[in-house]
Structure 1
């Protein structure tokens, strides 16, 4: 019996080790998109209907999502921030519930949409939390509208197209995100059958933008924290380090065991970093 028990224990340990080996690393996972955290409204800006939602009270913070996504992705962060801030969640033009028109997509145009929304909400200045395209928009705002932004939490940004890894769309986690984003578009968009056309439009922007020079980045005066996951599927680490080294006074934070989707994969650490930067907590 002792021999059988030893054999069983050895087999069990082997099976467990196989299971652990087969389990995906946290940075390889794509956790579910959070449910909406607040009822939304629409603002007519620059020829489109921009969807937004607000929650909480305090100093304003605008949350800007990544390309192809929507503001629901920020649900876990919005709840944490709403304890001490007025949180403004925005679906960028053409994304989520917001409409688009025939104008070519551009970061300047989408940043102008954010400013127009702040004007309608009578908000003179706000902190910006951005992920991927949203982080690029935050930096765009810091360059072009320095008096309208406070702190910039820039997660997974690039400032030139060469900062993006080639073939990112073939990465399994990123491919799963693209597929999910298409399904979400079909459920949320006012033009649910036009996902392919939308992707074509925004891909034209991605082929040439952003394209900021070192001199432009050096004009940024806002406090900036440049953040990324240590396993980002899309952004080159050396480029993230370049951004932090070039923007005057910027900080650099690399989140461990996390990817382009760190805010879903490790929301506790992500939120702690976010609140520490914005509030010193």
Structure 2
């Protein structure tokens, strides 16, 4: 491989890395656990470049290496506590009852927007099997948990759309806040089980600041952030969101992220 070719290859990997990190942390429910798997993936490629399938597009090939490592370690769920009585422990019990490989297929299809053929390459299965896993995941996760969801979103059309998607899943909407101050007030009136938040709000306030304040007041709960520029939040500098949806989003992405987030008691949030 020439120096130029090697440089191009490195640049291609770097471009896809934020999406691998997003997937890894959504899969494990933890920034630290997810990033450990992302680092292990890069180290494996550096140690043996032949494991990277250059006949595939860069993103699919990168995720395929990740999955070889993920499955070789038993596909553990990212629990960093041993508290058998905690909510996170209960989440692990829910996850352990899901059909094997369903969460992986669902996240790859909905959040990362891979086709069934690409998922098949990543997971070393057929496209039909990939589609079946996604269908099973929707059924199993849809039946698993329901709760109270607060939405922080300043665009009325998007807020209404999110309300409809979440309500159809069987969750209760505690309300919609358009600003950081309104979000803080709404959370105090009725504590949510999950927060779905935009980053930039109507009065130029920050959804990130609002979420961090709410968690500081009310304790940990799952959080999903929505942004048009997810790669800007996955920089590797400081705490970052474990659940992140890109704008414009598809309803399937929201449903998948909400189902995933509800399994985890604590979601690391971005502090800026």
TM category (shorter chain) comes to 0.3 to 0.5
Question: As a proportion of its length, which structure holds more helix?
Answer: 2
For normalisation by structure 2, the TM-score amounts to 0.34
Question: As a proportion of its length, which structure holds more strand?
Answer: 1
